[in-house]
Amino acid sequence: ISCLFCSGSRSSKTFKPKKNIPEGSHQYELLKHAEATLGSGNLRMAVMLPEGEDLNEWVAVNTVDFFNQINMLYGTITDFCTEESCPVMSAGPKYEYHWADGTNIKKPIKCSAPKYIDYLMTWVQDQLDDETLFPSKIGVPFPKNFMSVAKTILKRLFRVYAHIYHQHFDPVIQLQEEAHLNTSFKHFIFFVQEFNLIDRRELAPLQELIEKLTSKDR
């Protein structure tokens, strides 16, 4: 799994710059631990907090990793997600998302899916790059509001998975990326379930898929 998105793959066109965890740092060691446990194939075990580790740090490392994965997955289908094909940001006919970040755009705006996802991924990247929110140096404490920020990031990243599954699954199959997408999403879901990070109502657009992917591993 650590080679799920090898740089040698055809789809090296990424949507946003990759967020790197500095080598040699404790967070890098945690990321390596996560990759090693993923390799065992047991996703329920892989998402559990390693013994003696800080929950905030574990959530931070995995949030960065999910951002990079979703970034790459969406990057492979940007040609199919256009102003014309996706004039609104949706996850099927029942779910439509309007963008607001609370600072630059306070009142939610209706926009196309590519615009929404651009806003969303830029916003996430800004959070990840903020050293006061996501400290990369050892000994620098996480802020008190860290978990609520992480929950908002993961809630929004879920919407990109939901949009890809509902609106762009055909190109995913054409590109032979179905297994990548399913493994990445399953890992994401097990992680947010383990630490109760996304409200069930937010997961509704992919509820059937979630039940299908997770039922085998209860």
What is the CATH classification number for the domain harbouring 33?
1.20.140.30
Residue 21 lies in a domain: no
The answer to whether residue 53 sits within a structural domain is yes
Task: Determine the Cα–Cα distance for residues 98 and 108; give it in Å rounded to an integer.
Answer: 5
pLDDT, mean of residues 142-169: 97
98 annotated ligand-binding residue: no
Q: Is the pLDDT of residue 12 over 50?
A: no
Q: In this structure, is residue 5 part of a structural domain?
A: no
In this prediction, residue 14 carries a pLDDT of 59
How many independent structural domains does the chain possess? 1
The whole domain housing 90 covers: 26-215
Residue 155 domain-assigned (yes or no): yes
168 is in an annotated binding site: yes
Beta carbons of 205 and 94 less than 8 angstroms apart: yes
Does 19 map to a domain? no
Token code pair at residue 108: 């939610």
Q: Which residue has the higher pLDDT, 218 or 132?
A: 132
**Position 12 in a domain:** no
Q: Is 78 helix (H, G, I), strand (E, B) or coil?
A: coil
At 6, the pLDDT band (50, 70, 90 cuts) reads very low
Q: Which long-range contacts (C-beta less than 8 Å, at least 24 apart) are formed by 68-72? A: 68/5, 68/18, 68/19, 69/4, 69/5, 69/184, 69/188, 70/121, 70/157, 70/160, 70/161, 70/184, 71/14, 71/15, 71/16, 71/18, 71/121, 72/5, 72/11, 72/14, 72/15
* CA–CA separation, 99 and 209 (whole Å): 25
pLDDT class of 7 with cuts at 50, 70, 90: very low
Among positive and negative, which fits the CA dihedral 178, 182, 185, 187?
negative
Count of residues in the chain: 218
The reply to whether 26 sits in an annotated binding site is no
Q: What is the mean pLDDT of residues 109-116?
A: 96
The pairing of strands 89-90 and 96-97 is: antiparallel
- Residue 9 lies inside a defined structural domain of this protein: no
Q: Which residues are registered as beta bridge partners of 109?
A: 99
What are 26-60's pLDDT values in tens digits? 888 888 888 887 776 788 888 999 999 999 999 99
Left (φ > 0), alpha (ψ -120 to 50) or beta: where does 176 sit? left
Residue 187 assigned to a binding site: no
- Let me know if residue 113 belongs to a domain: yes
Residue 168 has pLDDT above 60, yes or no: yes
Task: Retrieve residue 26's tokens.
Answer: 């404790």
